[in-house]
Amino acid sequence: MKPILTAGATFPAGATLPHRLAVGPAVALLALLIGLAAPPLRAQEHEAQQPEAITLELNGATPMPDGACQLTLVVTNGLPAALKRAAWQVAIFDKAGAVQSLPILDFGALLPGKTRVAQFALPGRPCDQLGRIVVNDVAECTAEDGADQRAACLGGLATRNRSEIEFGL
């Protein structure tokens, strides 16, 4: 199955952050003491909030000059393994509830813990005519070693929505 829509996000090369911060010995000692005083349960609480799942968020829908609707999606790989390719088939419904298309949203490779923002254009589909988008199936979800991860990519999928279009499983 060939992807219909492919994310083409690029990121600036060579972006760096300051290497070191200068701190005095008193500040360093205070930071160490605060760290030692913190209850060890904090790390476990953080891990409990980050389940091994993938989160897919419809972040927005923008009308394009050519009449297409550009969807902005945010995906986070919460699985412990890298994915060689992650792609989901979605069902696009109009306002009357009729299915208009079944495109595949291909996010490419996803490292563990990685969040990626991607944009997909829906040619001939104005945003104001979209009623609902449903994640229909996993088109492909393959680990770096080639193992099939479709069960984890659908069974462990969580959705979020920040748009006016209904979105979910």
CA neighbor of 167 nearest in space, from 91, 107, 68, 63: 91
Domain ranges across the chain: 51-168
Q: How far apart are CA 121 and CA 61, in angstroms?
A: 9
CA neighbor of 106 nearest in space, from 90, 124, 126: 90
Task: Read off the pLDDT band of 122 (50, 70, 90).
Answer: very high
Q: How far apart are CA 158 and CA 57, in angstroms?
A: 8
**Taking the complete model, does pTM exceed 0.95, yes or no?**
no
Please state, rounded to an integer, the average pLDDT across all residues of the chain. Answer: 78
According to the CATH classification, is domain 51-168 in 1.10.3470?
no
Q: How far apart are CA 105 and CA 72, in angstroms?
A: 11
For residue 19, the model assigns a pLDDT of: 36
Task: Read off the pLDDT band of 102 (50, 70, 90).
Answer: very high
Nearest 5°: phi and psi at 132? -160, 145
